[in-house]
Structures are given as C-alpha cells and as structure tokens.
Chains A and B, each alone.
Chain A
C-alpha cells in the first residue's frame, strides 16, 4: 500500500512552530533594542576600564605621552612607598573607627527613636538631614567652623576656658575630625535603615518572648538583634565600602595634610594619576584597593551565608 502523498503545504504543527520562532525572533530584537543603551554605557564604562586599568598598572604612563611597559614595577614600588604605606594605615584607622561607631551608634539611636516619644519625627529628621548634604559642602562648612583663627569652634572653646585647638592643621587631630564629620553625616543613614528593619521584627515573636518572661534586655539580645543580623551585615559591608572610598571630604578640607595625616587611599590614587601624572602607578594602587574590597565582600558573603543558615536552624 502506498504511503500518504507528500503534502504540498507544511503541516499545521510546522506552521505553528515557524510562527512561534518568528515571534521569538521579533521579541529578541525588541529586547536587544531595549537593553542596548544600558549595556553600551554600563559595560562600556566598567568592563573596558577594568581591563584598561589592569594594563595601565603594568605601564609607566602620564596620560599624555605614550607610556611603556614596566611589568610589576609599579606594584613593587608601591610595596616600598612610605606614602602608600601611610595612606593604607590612615585608611584602615579611619575605617576601623568609622564603621563600628556608625553601626553601634546607629543601632542605639534607632532603638531609642523606635519608641513612642513625642517629637520623635523631628528628631529623626534632624539626625538624617546631614546625610543629603554633599561632602563638598560638609567640608567647606567644617573647614570654616574649625578654622583655627576665625572658626566658631575655637570661639566656643575660648568661652569655655579651653585653649584653642589646631583642628585640621594638627596632624594628631585631623584624621579623627574626618571620622567625626562623616559620623555626623552618615549616622542618619544607619538609623534610617535600622528603623526600617525594626518595623519588620515579627510582633508575635516579641509577644511570645514577653509571655515567656523575657525582660527588655533579653528581648533585645535574643529576639531583636538576631532578626536584625542581615541588616547589620549589609550595613557593615556598605559602610566599609564607603569608608574605603572617602575622597571629596579630604579634598575639600585637608588635601591629605598635614604631613600626610589624612591621605586616604583614594586621595593617594587621585594624587598619583591627576597631580603627579603617574597614572600607571595610581592604577596599580587602585587595583590593590579593588582587590582588598573584593576580599572583604567575599568574606562577608561567606559570613552572611553561614549566619543565615544558623538562623534558619534556630527557628526550625
């Protein structure tokens, strides 16, 4: 028996398949049109520069005349550069002070401001407002307030009978003043983030703990703080990244001085690349910073994973 005649037209199934494929292709084209501006800008100005920066760090380059390949010389020079060593030490000191202080004080303030007190909205606003003030404006303002001659700070100290201070001109004080100023402006961020997180502490959990006879301290220690852990980890990461990248404030207030006391690592990079015109050297320093940031982020990621697993185990 002969088989069925070969059809002149495509089967129903085949037709549907083709229409689907055509629709897919059209959708794919539209999608690419939608994402291409973002891809062009974002990848063009991040992936390309990351590779370029690495190549630059192996070169002696002044950004104007053609550079030459020097291999690992920049990194070797960095390891022996006392100014780079000082910048790293300053940055670590700054970070080690700013991050824990901003988080502990931010949490404490958030716990207080989470209570039902009169004027609590006003307090929250006043503490948050400095956050929106640019670092340039902060720097200008505090350079003025802390001016050894004309500043209001010395004037107040004078009235209190304290001898006038050097502030930013004193190498022993300058770095700590920077920490204080960034605490003034950055604390509000931690408070706001913690306040938002405190809203999400499950009420049944608190009530259950109360019924079990938990006091205020136990409630904080065993219910509130554990539920805030993910937020705290986020804040540590966020504040650390910010602390390692401080530049604007330094540029406006001290320009890294006095005697390099406030040269933080980003200021060092900028100085090398755009002031001393040793861009390759600056790029090498930037790579060291980036690797450090990456290690911190990876470490926290691991810690976060372990922490969340531990918490899951506790609630099960």
Chain B
C-alpha cells in the first residue's frame, strides 16, 4: 500500500518535472506533433489486410468469470474502391439457432438477413446482435475513414500481454453521426503502428468499453492482432474475447455486398 503511494508520488513528480522542463523550453519548432491521421491509418493497415479476405471470428463472452455465450462467424471483407471503407458480409456459423443468418455492412448501411423468414432488416449502428460486441466490432473498419484523429501524447501503457509499450495516444472524434462510438482514445505503438489499446466513449462521455489488441501473429503478409479482449465500461466483469483464425485472401464479388444478394449467398 505505502509502496504504491510512493510510486504514485514519484510518478507525479516525474510528470511535473517533465511538464516544467517542456514549459521552460517552449519553442514552437522544438516539438512537432506526429500526423495523427497518418498514424491511425497505419494502425488500420495493421488490423486489416488491404486485399479482399475472409476470416473466422469466435466470440467468447464472460460474466463474472463464467462463460455465458459463444458465437462463431465467417467474415468476408473487401475495401470499397471509392470510399476506402470496408464492406463486410458476415455469416453466423454457430450456435445452430443462428446458423446461416447474415449481417451485411455496405458503407454505413447495415442489413440483417434471416433465411428462415427471407427478411432483410435494416439495422442502426446501435443495434447489437452479439451481446456486448457491437456490429461495428465484428466488421472490418478503417477508423481513419470515420474518425478525425488528434495526437494527445506519447506514453507507456500495459498491453494485452502485460508488457509495457511506448505508444502514441490519439483522440478520435467521430466525423459522421452514423458511427458506433462518439469518441475513442487509442494507443498505437511507436515505431510499429500496432494498435495496443482503445477506449470507446458514448456521446454522454461515459466509457462504453476498453479493447486490448493482442496475440500478434504473421497473417496475410504482416503481423496482425489475432485476439481482441473487450471489457465493458460499466461492468468490468463483462468480458468478450474475439479470436480471429483461418485468415485467407479470397475474391469477394461486389454482388455479394448488396442487400438484394443476401437470399442468394452461398459461399461454398
């Protein structure tokens, strides 16, 4: 306890000294903030292959350390040549009650399709089909397209493997009202542009969730996170583990990525 207080005091003094030194040496040319938007785009490129691909996502959900849900999804994704944002088609694989249901994200349009009723229903970004994980969490997203980034600081954070990483801290402000999160804080490792950690906020300012990007492995040409751990902002005992596997480059025809094709979708 006393050791922890001493640690806090030492760190506070170090911060004070740092800001004092910076204040004394406040010369405009001395400190140029990095290009936050470019950093965010580089981080997007770590998470998302630039060519059309498919990946399997397994979502394990925990409440109070007990597993409460398990969903498996097949994700087919392709960058839109016009806007640069990803268009994504998701097929529910398991559990069986949801098998072969589809979720399509085309631009800002979200469609849910149930083969049993042949109904294509438009969803809003707020509607969640998978418990804690928002629809936006499971589709591929280029954050640099939907958010305006500003550089906040360089700081050390503990990453998903509990290793300290030296990171750029970015503040992201939604540039369109249709996105899932109003504001995001994101830590991107200096040098590698790896996403390390993100905190997502509602318009009211309260923390919705914290995400750790971890288990980086070589996939489709570069090191990418193969697991995201999501912690609920209000209830930290509510945890979702998103695991990515079976990465593959594959053709995703434009025809697949529109509402009228949903009843036709048959990937085999």
A and B bound?
A: no
